[in-house]
Structure 1
C-alpha cells in the first residue's frame, strides 16, 4: 500500500509530513518506523517526521517524531510548515499544548503559548534556579532553562562561532540532570533587538533552524534583561521574529516552504 507524504521545511529545518486527517495510516506510527523514514540514506530523509491526525479539541493534532524516532511535544518550524499546509489559520493540538497559526506578510505566525520556568516543568533532576543553572560543561556555564513545549537550556557567549557544539552538544543533551534530555542553545546578543543562535536539537543534532530554540533563547535573553520583548533571532538557516507579550504568550513569525510531494510503500518501512 502506497502512503503519500509532503516534504516541507522552515529555514532549512526539514520535515516529512504524513497527513492522516481524513485517511488513516496503514498501521500505527512507531519510533522505529519514524526513524527509518527520517534516515537520509535509506529513507526519505528529514530532521523531524510530522503526523497529522484528527482532533476533537482543535482543527487537528500534530505529532512530532525526531530524527532518532523519539516523539516530542513541540516544533516551532514544523508548526509554521503545517500552518502553511492548512491554509494559514489553524488551531493545532500538540503534546506540548494547543497552538495557533495565522498567515501574514512575513510568513506564518505561531502563538507558541506560555513559557514555563519551574525546575519541575523543564524538567530537571532536582531543584535549582532556572535563570542561572549552577552547572557547566566544557567551558559553557550557567545557562537559562525554559520549557516552551519542549525543554531547552540557553548559554549566552561572547562568540558563538567558537563553540564546538557538534562535539559538546551530545554531552549536554544526555546529562542525567535532564531526565527527558535537553535542547542546547548557544547564543550571542548583538543588540537589544538582535540575537545570533546555534542549536543542538535533542534527537536531531546540529540544525540549521529550531523554532522552539529561537523562542526559548529570546525569552531567556528577555528574562536576563539583555534584550527588548521583540527580537530577531538569526539562525544558520535564516531569521525568525520572536515577541513575548505582556500576557505571557510567545509569538514566532517566519517563512515555511513546501518542497515536493511523493509516496512510499508502507511495508518497506514497517
Structure 2
C-alpha cells in the first residue's frame, strides 16, 4: 500500500488511494499514525476518485466525519493526481455530506473549502434536557463558552491564554459525559492585531497544530459573542487560516496544504 503524506498548517495526514488499498482495521490505522512506531500523522484519509470522496480516520483509529485541514489536503492530493483541475469548483463527499472546494493557488497550494453550516441543535451534542438556545455546558458555567456541531462536535472556550491549558484539562472537557459523543475543544483569545488565537484539543488525536473545523467554530463563536466579526483570520500553532461565512451560513475555510512525501507499507490482513 502506498501512503502519501500532506500537512495543512501542521495538521498532517496519510492519504491512501481507495482503489488500491486493502481493507485496514482501526488498529492498523492507529499503528500507521503512531509517531514513534509508525509513519506518524494526525489521521489517515482513504481517497476515492469516482465519485470524489474522502474517508477520514483519526490518529487513534476512530472515524471522523469532517476535517477542514484534511479536506484541503485531499484537494491537494486530487490535484496532484490529475483527478481535478484548478479552473473550477468541485463537490467532495465526506462523512458529513458533500462539500464544495475551490483551488485558489497551486504554487504554493492554497484552497478554500466548505467546512459546514453550524448546527446549534443541542440534541446533536448531548442527551441532557436543556432550555432552547445556544448550548452552554453546565459544568463550564463560569466560562464564556458554547457548544455546537460543525461537521463534528466543538466546544469553544474563550480564555486569557490558550497556551497554559494542560492536556488533562482539555481531555476532561472533551470526554465529559455531558457530551454524548465527546467533543473537540477550542481554546480561544482575541489578539491585539485582531486575529483569533486558537488552540484545539481533538477527539482521537489530542493537541493539534491546527484544526480547520475548530478554526471555523472559534470564528463563529467569536462573532456570536461580539468578540470578533466575520470574516476573520485565525492563528493556530501551525499557521494562519482564514474564515468567512456565505449568506447561507456555510463556513468557508481558506489555507495551505504541503506535500511531504510517500512511503510503501505492507499491511497484513
Q: Confirm or deny a common fold (TM above 0.5).
A: yes
Contact 1:192–1:231 (CA under 8 A) maintained in structure 2: no
Per the alignment, residue 21 of structure 2 pairs with 25
In the alignment, the residues of structure 1 paired with residue 247 and residue 120 of structure 2 have an alpha-carbon distance, to the nearest angstrom, of: 16
Per the alignment, residue 128 of structure 2 pairs with 126
In the alignment, the residues of structure 1 paired with residue 48 and residue 25 of structure 2 have an alpha-carbon distance, to the nearest angstrom, of: 14
- Runs (5+) with no aligned partner, structure 1: none
Q: How do 1:199-238 and structure 2 match up within 5 A?
A: 199-238=200-239
The correspondence for 1:53, drawn from 35, 48, 56, is 48
Contact 1:192–1:227 (CA under 8 A) maintained in structure 2: no
* TM-score, length basis structure 2: 0.89
Contact 1:67–1:204 (CA under 8 A) maintained in structure 2: yes
In the alignment, the residues of structure 1 paired with residue 142 and residue 65 of structure 2 have an alpha-carbon distance, to the nearest angstrom, of: 26
The correspondence for 1:152, drawn from 146, 151, 154, is 154
The correspondence for 1:11, drawn from 9, 12, 15, is 9
Q: CA RMSD in A?
A: 2.0
- Which portions of structure 1, spanning 4 or more consecutive aligned residues, are displaced by more than 4 angstroms? none
Per the alignment, residue 76 of structure 2 pairs with 84
SS of 2:74's equivalent? helix
The correspondence for 1:108, drawn from 101, 106, 111, is 111
Contact 1:132–1:144 (CA under 8 A) maintained in structure 2: yes
Contact 2:24–2:267 (CA under 8 A) maintained in structure 1: no
Per the alignment, residue 43 of structure 1 pairs with 38
Contact 1:134–1:142 (CA under 8 A) maintained in structure 2: no
SS of 1:91's equivalent? strand
Q: Rate the CA distance shift 1:142–1:134 in 2: closer, same or farther, 3 A.
A: farther
Contact 1:11–1:238 (CA under 8 A) maintained in structure 2: yes
In the alignment, the residues of structure 2 paired with residue 31 and residue 162 of structure 1 have an alpha-carbon distance, to the nearest angstrom, of: 32
In the alignment, the residues of structure 1 paired with residue 90 and residue 263 of structure 2 have an alpha-carbon distance, to the nearest angstrom, of: 24
1:101 Cα shift? 1.4
- Counterpart check, 1:182 vs 2:177: no
In the alignment, the residues of structure 1 paired with residue 133 and residue 144 of structure 2 have an alpha-carbon distance, to the nearest angstrom, of: 9
In the alignment, the residues of structure 1 paired with residue 57 and residue 16 of structure 2 have an alpha-carbon distance, to the nearest angstrom, of: 11
- Runs (5+) with no aligned partner, structure 2: 80-85
Contact 1:135–1:141 (CA under 8 A) maintained in structure 2: no
1:41 Cα shift? 1.8
In the alignment, the residues of structure 2 paired with residue 113 and residue 174 of structure 1 have an alpha-carbon distance, to the nearest angstrom, of: 23
